[in-house]
C-alpha cells in the first residue's frame, strides 16, 4: 500500500504546485520558498537537532511551551521547527525569531524526505497533534531516528478518514516510538487505528500550558478605559468564510438594544482581512482596523483585527468571546485563549477539533453552544446584558484552564527518556 500511496503522491504533485500558485494569488507568501516543499534549502550546518513539526498557527501556539522547555533543558541542541502554512511560519518567527531554524515541511515524497533529513540531521522528531505521513515515518525508522507524536489528538471525523487506509496507517504508526495523547478518548482512537497499546500515553493537552503574555490584562484594561468601561464589547475570533456575515448580522441585532456596542472581529486568515473589512462597511457599520487606527474610538461599531498573534489583549478587553470555525464545519479553534483570561466563551455546533476542551468548558459553566447562526445575536445580547452571568462564566472558564495544566512537564519526561535511550 505504501508503494501505491507514493505513486499517488507523485501523480498529485503537479496539482500541489498549482495549488501553491493559486494560493499565491491571494497570499503572496504562499509561493515563496516553494523549493523547501521538495527538500531544497541551504544546509543549516548542524547535527543532532530536535525537530518539532507544527502544521499552522494553532499547532505552533500549542507547541510554544514545549519548544521553550526544550530550549531550557537542551540549550546546546539546535531546534528545527517546520510548518505547512505561511501563517504558521509567521507565528514561529514572531515567537522565536532566529532562535530556531524554520523550514517548510517537504511533501511526503521519498526524495524530498531523504534530502530534508540529510540537511537537518535530527536526533528526535516531535509531530504535534495529528500528522501521519507514511514515507516520512518509514524514513525516520530506517535511520534510527525516534519519532513521537505529542499533544496527539484524533477526532471522530479524522479517524473515519484514516480507516480507509487502515493498513497503511497501522504500518506507519508502527514506526512511532511514543504517542502522548491529549485525552483517554484520543488514546483509544489511536489504538483503534493500530497503535500498540504500550506506546500510547495520556499526558493531557499542552494548550493548557500556554503562557499568558505579559501585560495582556493590563493592555485589555487600557483599551477598556479608552473606549469606556461601561461599553458593551464582544469579540469574534478566528472566523472563517461563511461566518462573518452571520457575525455582522448578530452585531446589528445587538445594536438594537445596546447602541454603543463594539464588535472586535478577527478573521483567521490574513488574505481575508480586507474582504471582511469591506463586508462590514457595506452593511453600514462605522469600521476601524488595527493596522490603521490601532484601537477603536467610541464612534466605531466594528473593529477588524487585521494582525496575527495579537488576540490576547482583545480577549482580555471583551466581555464575551465567540470562537470561530464552529458555525461552519471547520471544527473550531482554540477556546483556551479567552478562558485563560476569564472571558466567557461562545462556540457554534462544530467543535470536533477541540471536543474534549470545549466539552469540559461547557460542563463546568465556562462556555455555551450557539446552536446556529440565527441564535448568535440573541445569545451575545443576553450575556452582554447580564454582567453577573459573564463574571461567573469567566471564573469557571479560568478554573478549567488552571486545573488542566501540566501536560508539558509530563511530555518532557517522555522526551527525556527517548533521548537518554
pLDDT digits (tens, 9 = 90+) for 336-368: 999 999 999 999 999 988 888 899 999 999 999
pLDDT of residue 28: 65
pLDDT of residue 418: 94
pLDDT of residue 26: 66
pLDDT of residue 158: 86
The separation between CA 249 and the C-alpha centre of its own chain, rounded to angstroms, equals 26
Q: Which three cell numbers stand for residue 296?
A: 477603536
From CA 359, how far away is CA 297, in angstroms rounded? 36
322 vs 28 pLDDT, higher one? 322
Assess whether pLDDT exceeds 80 at residue 20: no
From CA 176, how far away is CA 125, in angstroms rounded? 10
pLDDT of residue 29: 63
pLDDT of residue 104: 95
pLDDT of residue 354: 86
Cα–Cα distances in angstroms (integers) from residue 79 to residues 50, 91, 98, 116, in the given order: 5, 16, 10, 14
pLDDT of residue 27: 64
Assess whether pLDDT exceeds 80 at residue 30: no
Query: What's the mean pLDDT in 86-99?
Result: 92
Contact call for residues 159 and 192 (beta carbons, < 8 A): yes
When mean pLDDT is compared across 244-258, 277-291, 294-308, the lowest value belongs to 294-308
When mean pLDDT is compared across 117-131, 154-168, 312-326, the lowest value belongs to 154-168
From CA 151, how far away is CA 203, in angstroms rounded? 8
When mean pLDDT is compared across 214-223, 299-308, 381-390, the lowest value belongs to 214-223
Assess whether pLDDT exceeds 90 at residue 240: yes
Backbone angles phi, psi at 322, to 5 degrees: -100, 125
Cell 504500550 found at: 198
Per-chain mean pLDDT for the chain: 92
pLDDT of residue 155: 86
Query: What's the mean pLDDT in 377-391?
Result: 96
Band (pLDDT 50/70/90 cuts) for residue 212 is confident
| C-alpha R_g of the chain | 22
Instruction: Please name every residue paired with 104 in a beta bridge, in sequence order, or none if there are none.
Output: 83
Band (pLDDT 50/70/90 cuts) for residue 304 is very high
pLDDT of residue 31: 64
Instruction: Please name every residue paired with 345 in a beta bridge, in sequence order, or none if there are none.
Output: 321, 367
Q: Which three cell numbers stand for residue 112?
A: 524530498
- Which domains are seen in the chain, by residue range? 25-204+406-420 (3.40.50.11720), 216-403 (3.40.50.2000)
Q: Which residues are catalytic?
A: 59
3-class SS letters over 116-156: HHHHHCEEEEEEECCCCCHHHHHHHHHCCCCEEEEEECCCH
Query: What's the mean pLDDT in 194-200?
Result: 96
Band (pLDDT 50/70/90 cuts) for residue 16 is confident
Query: What's the mean pLDDT in 17-26?
Result: 76
Instruction: For residue 106, give the DSSP letter.
Output: P
Amino acid at each position: 500500500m505504501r508503494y501505491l500511496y507514493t505513486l499517488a503522491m507523485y501523480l498529485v504533485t503537479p496539482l500541489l504546485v498549482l495549488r501553491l500558485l493559486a494560493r499565491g494569488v491571494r497570499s503572496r507568501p504562499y509561493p515563496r520558498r516553494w523549493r523547501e516543499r521538495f527538500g531544497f534549502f541551504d544546509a543549516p550546518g548542524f547535527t543532532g537537532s530536535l525537530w518539532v513539526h507544527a502544521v499552522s498557527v494553532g499547532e505552533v501556539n500549542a507547541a510554544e511551551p514545549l519548544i521553550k522547555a526544550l530550549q531550557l533543558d537542551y540549550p546546546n541542541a539546535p531546534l528545527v521547527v517546520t510548518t505547512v502554512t505561511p501563517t504558521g511560519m509567521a507565528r514561529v518567527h514572531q515567537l522565536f525569531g532566529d532562535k530556531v531554524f524554520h523550514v517548510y515541511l517537504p511533501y511526503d515524497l521519498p526524495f524530498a524526505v531523504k534530502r530534508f533529513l540529510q540537511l537537518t540531521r535530527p536526533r528526535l522528531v516531535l509531530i504535534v497533534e495529528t500528522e501521519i505521513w507514511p514515507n516520512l515515518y518509514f524514513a525516520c525508522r530506517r535511520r534510527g531516528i525516534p519519532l513521537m507524536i505529542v499533544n496527539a489528538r484524533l477526532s471522530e471525523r479524522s479517524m473515519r478518514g484514516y480507516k480507509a487506509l487502515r493498513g497503511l496507517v497501522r504500518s506507519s504508526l508502527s514506526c512511532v516510538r511514543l504517542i502522548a495523547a491529549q485525552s483517554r478518548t484520543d488514546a483509544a482512537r489511536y489504538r483503534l487505528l493500530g497503535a500498540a497499546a504500550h506506546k500510547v500515553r495520556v499526558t493531557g493537552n499542552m494548550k493548557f500550558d500556554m503562557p499568558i503574555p505579559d501585560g495582556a490584562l493590563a493592555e485589555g484594561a487600557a483599551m477598556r478605559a479608552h473606549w469606556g468601561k461601561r461599553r458593551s464589547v464582544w469579540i469574534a475570533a478566528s472566523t472563517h468564510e461563511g461566518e462573518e456575515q452571520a457575525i455582522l448580522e448578530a452585531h446589528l441585532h445587538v445594536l438594537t438594544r445596546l447602541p454603543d456596542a463594539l464588535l472586535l472581529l478577527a478573521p483567521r486568515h490574513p488574505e481575508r482581512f480586507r474582504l471582511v473589512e469591506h463586508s462590514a462597511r457595506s452593511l453600514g457599520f462605522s469600521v476601524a482596523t488595527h493596522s490603521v487606527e490601532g484601537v477603536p474610538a467610541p464612534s466605531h461599531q466594528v473593529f477588524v483585527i487585521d494582525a496575527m498573534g495579537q488576540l490576547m489583549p482583545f480577549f482580555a478587553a471583551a466581555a464575551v468571546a465567540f470562537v470561530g470555525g464552529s458555525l461552519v464545519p471547520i471544527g473550531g479553534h482554540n477556546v483556551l485563549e479567552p478562558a485563560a483570561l476569564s472571558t466567557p466563551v461562545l462556540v457554534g455546533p462544530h467543535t470536533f477539533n477541540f471536543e474534549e476542551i470545549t466539552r469540559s468548558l461547557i460542563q463546568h459553566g465556562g462556555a455555551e453552544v450557539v446552536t446556529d447562526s440565527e441564535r448568535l445575536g440573541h445569545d451575545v445580547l443576553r450575556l452582554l446584558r447580564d454582567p453577573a452571568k459573564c463574571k461567573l462564566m469567566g471564573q469557571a472558564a479560568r478554573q478549567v484552564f488552571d486545573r488542566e495544566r501540566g501536560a508539558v512537564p509530563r511530555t518532557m519526561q517522555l522526551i527525556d527518556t527517548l533521548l537518554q535511550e
